[in-house]
Amino acid sequence: MAARMATSHSTAPQRLRSVRHEPFEKVVERHGTTVLRVCRAVLAPTAAEDAWSETFLAAMQAYPTLRAGSNVEAWLVTIAHHKAIDQLRADARRAVPVADVPERPSGNGLLDSWESDLWAALKTLPRKQRECVIYHHVAGLPYADVADVLGGTPDAARRAAADGISALRKTYLTSTRERDAEGATT
């Protein structure tokens, strides 16, 4: 199941039947992994799991009234986005008295639990860029849907994602090179 999540343009929800809703189980099966990735991209592992649970519980609650033909993945990512922001705000309130969510989750434990350099690199991006990269390249949303989720225009989302990718090329590759270099000297 955790097979390659090729950008899910190919699995786009247009082929959802328009009249009836399929069993909610199918929604969880089809999108559970993507939503977990979205949550993990923004939050620490435990908070990400909580956000996943809240996302699907809220989605199941609202599912019968979801308009037929809706883009289910975009709908789920939107819910996940809001749940993630709720978690970040709660964390921020619990931690230091900052007015708003810090733009860079710098070295506050968010980075520690992931082995992957790429996830670590993702987390060094400004949140807007990170979200655009994740929502477009991982969740597979078209930029128009990314813009709906985040606010702003599709072009701005496209630019932020492009900036994010090019920043990733630098930080991700640099950090792995540095680590390889260290490994070579010891």
Partner 1 sequence: MSTAPAISGSRDLVTALPEVDDETVRRLHARLGAAAAAAGILEVAYRTVDTPVGPLLLAATEQGLVRVAYALQDHDRVLEQLAATISPRVLRAPQRLDSAAREIEEYFARQRTAFDLPLDLRRSSGFRRSVLAYLPQIPYGTTASYTAVAAAAGNPKAVRAAGTACATNPLPLVVPCHRVVRSDGTLGGYGGGLEAKQILLMLEAER
Which residues of the chain form contacts with partner 1 (CB under 8 A)?
Answer: 1-2, 4-7, 20-25, 28, 32-33, 36-37, 49, 52-53, 56-57, 60-61, 63-64, 114-119, 133, 136-138, 165, 168-169, 172-173, 176-177, 180
DSSP 8-class letter at 151: S
CB of 27 to partner 1, least distance (A): 9
Q: Which helix (H) or strand (E) holds 100?
A: none
CB of 33 to partner 1, least distance (A): 5
Nearest to 127 by CA among 96, 167, 90: 167
Is residue 36 a contact partner of residue 80, using CB atoms and an 8 Å limit? no
CA distance 161 to 139: 13
CB of 21 to partner 1, least distance (A): 4
Nearer to partner 1, 64 or 97 (CB): 64
Torsion of CA 59, 65, 69, 75, to 10 degrees: -30
Nearer to partner 1, 72 or 147 (CB): 72
CB of 51 to partner 1, least distance (A): 10
Is residue 156 a contact partner of residue 147, using CB atoms and an 8 Å limit? yes
Nearer to partner 1, 31 or 128 (CB): 31
Question: Tokens 């540095």 — which residue?
Answer: 178
Nearer to partner 1, 102 or 171 (CB): 171
Q: Residue 153: how many CA atoms within 13 Å on its side-chain side?
A: 3
CB of 170 to partner 1, least distance (A): 10
Nearer to partner 1, 53 or 153 (CB): 53
CA 16 to chain centre: 23
